[in-house]
Amino acid sequence: MKTSHVIIILGIVITGSVIFGVTFKMPLDYSGISFESPFREEHYSIEITGMKDVYLVGEQYDFSYVISGYGHSCGSKEVTFPDQDGNTMKTISSSSCIAGVPMNEFVIDSQTAYDTTYVHGKINNPGTYNVTIIFDRPSQDFPTMASKEFRVMEK
CB neighbours of residue 25 within 10 Å: 11
If asked whether residues 139 and 89 sit together in one domain, one would say yes
- Whether residue 33 is predicted with pLDDT greater than 80 in this model: the reply is no
If asked whether residues 86 and 131 sit together in one domain, one would say yes
- Which is higher by pLDDT, 93 or 24? 93
Task: Output the domain CATH number for residue 102.
Answer: 2.60.40.2550
If asked whether residues 108 and 90 sit together in one domain, one would say yes
Q: Which domain holds residue 16?
A: 1-37
If asked whether residues 24 and 66 sit together in one domain, one would say no
Residue 101 dihedral angles phi and psi, to the nearest 5°: -75, 130
Kindly tell me the sign of the dihedral angle through the C-alpha atoms of 21, 22, 28, 32. Answer: negative
Across 143-152, average pLDDT: 96
Across 99-108, average pLDDT: 88
If asked whether residues 16 and 57 sit together in one domain, one would say no
Q: What is the band of 25 on the pLDDT scale with cuts at 50, 70, 90? A: low
- Which is higher by pLDDT, 31 or 155? 155
